[in-house]
Amino acid sequence: MAFKYSITLSSFRKLESIEQTLARLKEQKYDAVEVFGEPKEIKLRDFRNKITSFDIPVCGVTGMWGRESEDSWKRRLLSLDPGLVSHAENYVKQCIEMCEYLGGNEFNICMFSDENQILFDANHHMISENLKQSTMKRTIPMLSSLSKFASDHNVELLLEPLNRYSTPYCTTAKDAIYIVQMVNQDNLGILLDTFHMNIEESSFEQVIRDSKDFLRHTHFAENNRAMPGYARLDFSSIVKTLRNVGYDKYISFEPNLIDVDYKLATLKGLNLIKRLENSLS
C-alpha cells in the first residue's frame, strides 16, 4: 500500500504559466494535479491538451470557495437567498462536468453561509451543536441530488470542513461525518485538510481514526499554509495514522507559495512526506 501524491494548481496561478508548473511537477515526480475550479476561466480543450502533453493525470478539481475569484462569494450552499443557493448548485455541477472532462474523479464542497446569516463569535466558537446540525440538515436534499449528479459523471463529492474563520458550519470532521451519514450516498465522502484541522481539531490522530470509513482525500499544508517542513505540524504522526487506518488515496498539497522559493518548497515538502511514508515500510 502506497500513498499517491498530488498538488493544487491554484497554488501557482499567480506565479507562472501552466506549462512551467506542469513541467516542474512532472520532473519532481508528482503523481497527479488538482485543477482549480473555475470552469468559466479555463478553455477546457486547450487545458486538457496541455495536461495530456505532460503526461500527468488530473485527480480532481479544487473548489474555489470564499473570495478566490470575482463571483466566488456567491457560492453559498447554506445561504438563505435561493438565488445564491441556485448559483452554488450550478457551480458544483459545472465543476463536476469539468472534472469528468479532464479525467478526474474528485471535487470538494465547502459549506459557506451568508456572512450576516447568524451572529456568532468566531474567536470563541459560540454556536451550539444543535444549531449547527439543524442548519446543515437543510442541505441534505440538495447534497443528495448533487451526489447523484456526480455519480452520473463518475465523480466523488468530498465534503471539506473549514475553520471557524471561514464558516461557522461544517468546521470539524464530526460535522462532516454527520452530513455524510445523513445523505448516505456512496460517492459522498470527506476531505480532511491539515491547515483547517490545526485550528479546529484537538487531535489529528483521533480525527483520522474517526473519519477512516469516509475519508477519500487529504490536503496537506502547514499551520501557516506552507508546504510540510516549513512550519511546526507533526506530519510524522499524521502520516503514520493514515497508514495505520489503511488510507491509500491521494495526499494532495495545498500550499500558499507566494512568499517562498516555491520551486524548492514543492520538492522539499513532497520528499519530506515520502521519507516519512518510507520510514513506515
Q: Which domains does the chain have, with CATH numbers?
A: 4-278 (3.20.20.150)
Q: How much is the average pLDDT of 25-30?
A: 97
pLDDT one-digit tens code per residue, 163-175: 988 888 999 999 9
Kindly report each contact of residues 129-138 with a partner whose C-beta sits within 8 Å and lies 24 or more positions away, as own/partner. 132/168, 132/169, 132/170, 132/175, 133/175, 133/178, 135/78, 135/169, 136/78, 136/111, 136/169, 136/170, 136/175, 136/178, 136/179, 137/182, 138/78
Confidence of residue 79 (pLDDT cuts 50, 70, 90): very high
pLDDT one-digit tens code per residue, 201-235: 999 999 999 999 999 999 999 999 999 999 999 99
Q: What is the reported pLDDT for 95?
A: 97
Decide if pLDDT at 269 tops 90.
yes
Confidence of residue 121 (pLDDT cuts 50, 70, 90): low
Distance CA 220, CA 238 (A): 10
Q: How much is the average pLDDT of 123-140?
A: 80
What pTM value is reported for the model?
0.94
Share of the chain above pLDDT 90, in %: 81
Decide if pLDDT at 69 tops 90.
no
Q: What is the reported pLDDT for 68?
A: 67
Confidence of residue 124 (pLDDT cuts 50, 70, 90): low
Decide if pLDDT at 131 tops 60.
yes
Q: How much is the average pLDDT of 89-109?
A: 97
Q: What is the reported pLDDT for 2?
A: 84
DSSP for 67-105, please give it: TSSTTGGG--TT-S-HHHHHHHHHHHHHHHHHHHHTT--
Share of the chain above pLDDT 70, in %: 95
Confidence of residue 259 (pLDDT cuts 50, 70, 90): confident
